[in-house]
Structure 1
Amino acid sequence: MAIPHRLAAEYPTRCLQLLEAVEPFARDKNLVGSFALLVAAAVLTIPFERARAKHFLHRESDAEMTKMIDGLNKVKFSEAPFWGGDGPSGWRQSHIVEHFDAPERWVARDGKHPLAEDGQNFLPEKTAASLLRALRNALAHGNIIYLNKDGQEQEGDLVHFLAFLSRYEEGEEQQAKSETYRLIVTTEGEFLRFIKRWADWIGYRSIDDKAVEAA
């Protein structure tokens, strides 16, 4: 393996190559959810961190990646450029205010279970940046739960949904009273599709292709 010209930008592309090579095996072994998480933990975290201008390894040549990620603050997740016009399907976001450690007993802000058909879903109005930060935080802290098709954490059942929890704090008063979490839920197949779209978008497109070819 050659040392990359720009790690932050080329790494997602290398992950995508590995993903496409190993995906058939993961599907054959019914490990799509675990496989998607394995890739996501790195392919989301590294570009996000290295794109920060204050990161000590940030380079001037990474400026285009920084611009791309900053631009996600101005667009909704459902309309983000990495979807390529084929937006998300079946994603939900809510805020858990009770029993965050017991999926069957989750209570959202509206008093309902966050997976209830008539429950609140904040995702359509969320920016791509805010949702990606929540996903990154959940991955970094291991706040991930496998759920079956009924939204329950039943040992031995087939995984259908992946749930991501990220600490939500509106202020010191709320922090002192209780813990609440952002909850993002999607199917394992849809999450894998997202990771592939993200890796393709944030990869070589964020740097000068001529510089890569010359390296």
Structure 2
Amino acid sequence: MTAYANLFQDFPTRCRRLLKLMEDVCHAERLDVTLLLSIASTGLVIPSERLQNGHPADDGSKIPEGIKSHNKLMNQAFSSSPLVNSSNNPNSWRYGTHTDSNWKDAPDNWKSAPLTDTQKVQQVVSIIRNALAHGNIYTKGSPITEIVFASKRMRHETGCCGIKHAFENGIQYVSATPEDFSKFIKNWLDHLWMVFKTPGQARMA
């Protein structure tokens, strides 16, 4: 039994190639957003999970320099990070919160504002990851003009004996146009390839 020599380089490269191959076909069939969500559901969720502390694969100990560079990006403000094309400034990315943890209101009623330096890459990527993993994705317009990614918002408290507790505290969400989300996904995949590239890599079908 063998393991991938470098999942973080090979897998994002294949996702990027697949996106390039299918973009024109999907655009002609008005499947642009479906393609983006399909690529993001693998190209963002899988690496994000593998990079978590405590993952059984323990990738952090194998590629420490890559992890260091990746964590540096994750701590940057999202709106000024390399994941957002500087040529498209201001961009369409927005952030908001909602107190209704049951999400009864339609997303059209959710208030949001342009992202600020307060929203770091780690927070935005986490919201998108959770939305993709749990199906909390909404769209506006026909054809689609905005994609909304929602995630539970948690409040953490320390109780007696130092025991930590987490409570649901409504939701938080980010949104962007399909064009800006496409740029984000491409930049994310390129980032993974750049910081984790090493000589030799197993092929992933």
TM-score normalised per structure 1 = 0.76
The residue type paired with residue 21 of structure 1 is L
Structure 2 unaligned blocks of 5 or more = 158-165
| Contact 1:9/1:47 (8 A) holds in 2 | no
Distance 1:32 1:139, change over 3 A: same
Aligned residues with identical type, % of pairs? 24
**Cα distance, 1:25 vs structure 2:** 0.7
Q: Does 1:135 align with 2:137?
A: no
The residue type paired with residue 168 of structure 1 is R
**Cα distance, 1:54 vs structure 2:** 2.3
2:118 maps to: 125
| Contact 1:64/1:207 (8 A) holds in 2 | no
**Cα distance, 1:168 vs structure 2:** 0.5
- Give secondary structure in 2 for the equivalent of 1:125: coil
**Cα distance, 1:43 vs structure 2:** 0.8
2:21 maps to: 21
| Contact 1:51/1:69 (8 A) holds in 2 | no
| Contact 1:93/1:185 (8 A) holds in 2 | yes
- Give secondary structure in 1 for the equivalent of 2:186: helix
Task: Name which of 139, 148, 156 aligns with 1:163.
Answer: 148
Q: Give the length in aligned residue pairs.
A: 190
Task: Give, in whole Å, the separation in 1 of the partners of 2:50 and 2:8.
Answer: 6
Structure 1 unaligned blocks of 5 or more = 107-112, 149-156
- Give secondary structure in 1 for the equivalent of 2:71: helix
1:207 maps to: 197
Task: Give, in whole Å, the separation in 2 of the partners of 1:181 and 1:144.
Answer: 13
- Give secondary structure in 1 for the equivalent of 2:92: coil
TM-score normalised per structure 2 = 0.80
Which fold has the larger relative contact order, with Cα–Cα distance below 8 Å and residues 6 or more apart in sequence? 2
- Give secondary structure in 2 for the equivalent of 1:75: coil
2:111 maps to: 114
**Cα distance, 1:64 vs structure 2:** 3.1
| Contact 1:90/1:186 (8 A) holds in 2 | yes
Task: Name which of 91, 94, 105 aligns with 1:92.
Answer: 94
| Contact 1:78/1:87 (8 A) holds in 2 | no
Return the structure number with greater helix share.
Answer: 1
1:42 maps to: 42
1:52-67 equivalences under 5 Å are 52-59=52-59, 60-67=61-68
The residue type paired with residue 114 of structure 1 is K
- Give secondary structure in 1 for the equivalent of 2:172: strand
- Give secondary structure in 2 for the equivalent of 1:24: helix
Task: Give, in whole Å, the separation in 2 of the partners of 1:53 and 1:171.
Answer: 19
Task: Give, in whole Å, the separation in 1 of the partners of 2:155 and 2:54.
Answer: 25
Task: Name which of 142, 167, 170 aligns with 1:180.
Answer: 170
**Cα distance, 1:58 vs structure 2:** 2.6
| Contact 2:6/2:202 (8 A) holds in 1 | no
Q: Does 1:146 align with 2:126?
A: no
- Give secondary structure in 2 for the equivalent of 1:16: helix
